[in-house]
Structure 1
Amino acid sequence: MNNSFTIQTVRYPNLGWDIAADLYLPAGFDQTKKYPAIVSTHPIGSCKEQTAGNIYAKGLAEAGFVVLVHDASFQGASGGMPRFIEDPSIRVSDIRFAVDYLQSQPFVDADRIGAIGVCGGGAYTVHAAITDHRIKALVSITGVNYGRLIREGFAQFKPRELAVGIAQMRMAQAQGGPRDAANLLPESVEAAREAGITDIDVLEATEYYKTARGQQPNGATSQLMSFSGAAMGWDAFLYAEVLLTQPLMVVIGDKPGGFGAYRDGWEIYSRAASANKRIIVAEGWSHYDLYDKPEPVAIAMAQMVPFFQDNL
C-alpha cells in the first residue's frame, strides 16, 4: 500500500499457462471510472519487481495511469515449461496478452492503451506495436534489439558458430541430457574485473542485478541457451518503416556499452514510420543508470508522462 498508488497481484491466461502480473493503480482509484492504461515489459533476465515495475510503473501510476507489469512466460512467477526460455516471439506475444487483459477490465479505456519496455523489453515493445495497433503510443527505454545482440555480443560476432552450438545443446537435451540454464552475468563486479571484463554494460548490469541495488528473488539473469535459436533470426525492428505508425518515444543514455542500446535507439528512431516520434538522450548517463538512478529516470519521466497524456 502506498498513498500515491496501490499494487494488485493478478494472474491471467496466456497460450497454455498463466501469467503473473502486478497491476499498479493510481491514488484515488475508482473502479467505476475509465483510465488510460500502459503495459510495462521488463528486461531480459529481469522480473516485474525490478525497473519496469518499481521504477517506471510506479512513476506512471503516480501520474494517474493504470499500469500492468507482467513476468515473462517461463520466467519469474509466470507459468510455462521449461524454465528460463527467452524467445522473442513469445515475449512479444506476452505483451499482446497483457493488452488483452487490460481491455477486459471495466476500468480501462480499451482505446487508450500504451506500452513501455526497458532494455530487451523496450525492443519487444517496439516489435509488438509494429503489428498490434491496439497499442496507441509507446516508449522504449534504453531498448536493445535482442536478435542483433545475440548475433553479435552473445555470439562474439560468430553467429554461425553459435547456431551450431545451440543445435548441439538442443540435440544433447533431446537425447536425455540436462537442461542447464546459463547465468548471463558474472557473480560480482570483482569477479568480472578479475576475468578481464571492461565493458560498461556488463559491469553495470552485474552491479545492478547482483547487489542489493536491484536484486530480486525472481530476477534470475538466467537463460536456457539451448532454446535461443529462435532469437538468432529475429529482428525487433522488422517492418518498422511500414507498420510502426503510432507515436513513439525513445529514451537512451549517451554512454554507449556493449549491449547496444545507444545504436539501437537511433536506429529505431530513424526507421519508424511514426509521424510523431522523438528521441530523448540523457546526457552523461548509461544504459543501467536509466534502470533506477534518480536523475536519468527523472529525465525520462519528465518526457514520458506528458507524452502519454497527449497521446492516450
Structure 2
Amino acid sequence: MKNVTFKNRTWDVAAVIRFPAGFDASNTYPAIICAHPISSCKEQTAGSVYAEALSQAGFITLAFDASTQGESGGEPRFSEDPATRTEDFRCAVDYLVTLPFIDENRIGVLGVCGGGAYAANVAMTEKRIKAVGTVVATNYGRMMREGDLSTDAALNLLEVIAKQRTAEARGNTPLLVGYIPFASQAECEQAGVRDVDMINAVDYYLTPRGQQPGSPNKLRLTSTAAAIGWDAFHLTDVLLTQPLHVVFGSVAGAFGSYRDGFELYTKARSANKSLHIVEGASHYDLYDRPEATTKALEQLIPFYQKFLAG
C-alpha cells in the first residue's frame, strides 16, 4: 500500500494504491479505481473494505479522495460538483496508464453510494474503463431534487442557494452545512427519525464505526446547485456499454439505492450486465458489515476476473 497523488487540472488528488501479494513491477496487472460515497473519504468503505479485498484478489486498486475533499486539493473546499467528481475518475485513469505495471486495457472501476453513480456516469464517455461495478449506487442529482419530498423541494432549495451565493459574492462567509443533519442517534430519536438509512448514516460517519478525519461532514451549500440539475443515469441507455455489475441490499431506505440500482441495471445498454440484491442488507450494511460486504465481493471479484483479468 502506498500513498500517491495525481493531477486534476492544477491541484493534487490524494490516493492510496494497493498491490496484490507477490507484486512484481516487471509484470502487468489489471487495475480497479475505487470511488468513495458522497461525504466519504478513501480511508472508509471504498478503500478499507472494497479496495483492500480486491487487491487481495489479485488486482491493483486505487482509492482516491474527491477533489476539494479529504486530503485532495481543489477549491472551493467541501464542494460536491458532479463535473469535478467525474473528472477525478478520468484523471485517475490518466495516472494509471503512466504506470508500467498497469495493463491499460484492463482498467475497471468500483463505486460505492454516490461514487457508484459517478462511476457509471463517467464510464459512458470514458472508454478506457473496461468494467463497471457499483455498490448501493445512489443518484446524487435525484436525491438533491427530491430533498425532503415536499412540493417544489428542489426549487425552494435553489432559491436558498441563489440568495446565499449573492451573499458570498458580497463578502459573506461561505455557508458549510452537514451532509448528515443530525449529530447523534439521540438527535435522530428526538426528531422522530426512523429511516434505516438516516439512522445508519449517523452511526457510520459520526461514531468510531467509520469516522475518519477526511470525512468531516462538511458541504459547501452553493456547490450543490449543479447537482440539482444533473442526472447520473441520463444516457446510460445510449452510452453505457461496458460490462456492469450492480449490487444493493434488499432493505430499502430513504437514500434510494434500492430503486436507483434497479434503474441503473434496467437502463444500461451494457450487453453484459448483472444484478445482485444482498438479502437482508441495508445501504450501510454494504459499507462495512462483513456479512453483507462478503456476499457482495463473492460476485464482484468473479465479475472483475471475467472482464479484466483474462
Query: Above 0.5 in TM-score?
Result: yes
2:287 is matched with which residue?
291
1:57 touches 1:67 (CA, 8 Å); kept in 2?
A: yes
In 2: Cα distance, 1:176 partner to 1:155 partner: 32
2:301 corresponds to which of 289, 295, 305: 305
SS of alignment partner, residue 168 of structure 2? helix
Question: Contact 2:249–2:277 at 8 Å: present in 1 too?
Answer: yes
Deviation of 1:297 (Å): 0.4
Conserved 8 A contact 1:123-1:140? yes
Q: Of 209, 226, 243, which aligns to 2:205? A: 209
Rounded Cα–Cα distance in structure 2 between residues aligned with 1:213 and 1:162: 32
Residues 1:43 and 2:9 are matched in the alignment: no
Q: Mark the CA change 1:88 to 1:179 in structure 2 (over 3 Å): closer, same or farther.
A: same
Aligned partners of 1:24 and 1:58 also within 8 Å: yes
Q: C-alpha distance in 2, partners of 1:155/1:86?
A: 21
Are 2:164 and 2:175, in contact at CA under 8 Å, matched by a contact in 1? no
The answer to whether structure 1 residue 184 and structure 2 residue 179 are counterparts is yes
The reply on whether 1:252 has 2:235 as its aligned counterpart is no
Deviation at 1:221, TM superposition (A): 2.1
- Give the letter for the 2:287 counterpart: Y
Residues 155 and 161, structure 1, Cα contact 8 Å, conserved in 2: no
Tell me the secondary structure at the aligned position of residue 104 of structure 1: coil
* Whole-angstrom distance in 1 between the partners of 2:223 and 2:300: 35
- Candidates 143, 161, 164, aligned match of 1:149: 143
Secondary structure at the counterpart of residue 166 of structure 1 = helix
Please tell me whether residue 54 in structure 1 is matched to residue 48 in structure 2: yes
Q: How far apart are the structure 2 equivalents of 1:293 and 1:31?
A: 33
- Alpha-carbon distance between aligned partners in 2 of 1:9 and 1:180, rounded to the nearest angstrom: 31
Q: CA deviation at 1:220?
A: 1.6
| Aligned equivalent of 1:127 | 121
- C-alpha distance in 1, partners of 2:90/2:139? 18
In structure 1, the partner of 2:25 is: 31
CA distance in 2, matches of 1:193, 1:108: 49
Give TM-score, length-normalised by structure 2.
Answer: 0.97
Which residue in 1 is equivalent to 2:160? Answer: 165
Selected match of 1:269 from 265, 269, 280? 265
1:239 to 235, 241, 258: 235
> Would you say the 8 A contact 2:131–2:244 is kept in 1?
yes
**Counterpart-to-counterpart distance in 1, 2:280 and 2:150:** 27
1:155 CA drift (Å): 6.8
Once the 2 structures are TM-superposed, how far is the Cα of residue 124 of structure 1 from its aligned partner? 0.2
Q: Distance in 2 between matches of 1:265 and 1:155?
A: 20
- Is this contact kept in 1: 2:247–2:276, CA < 8 A? yes
> What RMSD over aligned residues (CA atoms) do the two structures have, in Å?
1.0
Contact kept? 1:25, 1:65, Cα under 8 Å: yes
Q: Distance in 1 between matches of 2:302 and 2:170?
A: 54
Which deviations, in whole Å up to 9, do the C-alpha atoms of 1:78-113 show, x marking residues without a partner? 001221000011101101111111111101000100
Letter in 2 for 1:181: L
Cα deviation for residue 156 of structure 1 reads 4.4
**Residues 1:99 and 2:96 are matched in the alignment:** no
Distance 2:127 2:147 in 1: 31
Q: CA deviation at 1:195?
A: 1.7
User: Would you say how many aligned residue pairs link Structure 1 and Structure 2?
Assistant: 306
Query: In 2, Cα distance between the equivalents of 1:106 and 1:70?
Result: 20
What is the CA distance between 1:276 and its match in structure 2? 0.5
For the residues of structure 1 that align with 2:217 and 2:56, how far apart are their CA atoms?
A: 29
Whether the 8 Å CA contact 1:153–1:258 is kept in 2: the answer is no
Aligned 8 A contact 2:147 2:154 in 1: no
- Aligned equivalents of 2:263 and 2:144: distance in 1? 17
In structure 2, C-alpha distance between the alignment counterparts of 1:178 and 1:159, rounded to whole Å: 23
Q: Does 1:20 align with 2:14?
A: yes
Residue 13 (structure 1) shift: 1.2
Distance change (3 Å), C-alpha of 1:156 and 1:113: farther
Task: Give 3-state SS (helix, strand or coil) of 2:85's partner.
Answer: helix
Residue equivalent to 1:3:
none
Verify: 1:278 aligned to 2:269, yes or no.
no
Deviation at 1:197, TM superposition (A): 1.5
Q: Which ranges of 4 or more aligned residues in structure 1 deviate by more than 4 Å?
A: 154-157
Structure 2 gaps, min length 5 = none
Q: CA deviation at 1:190?
A: 1.4
Equivalent residues of 1:181, 1:223 under 8 A apart: yes
Q: 2:118, 2:150 → 1: CA distance?
A: 22
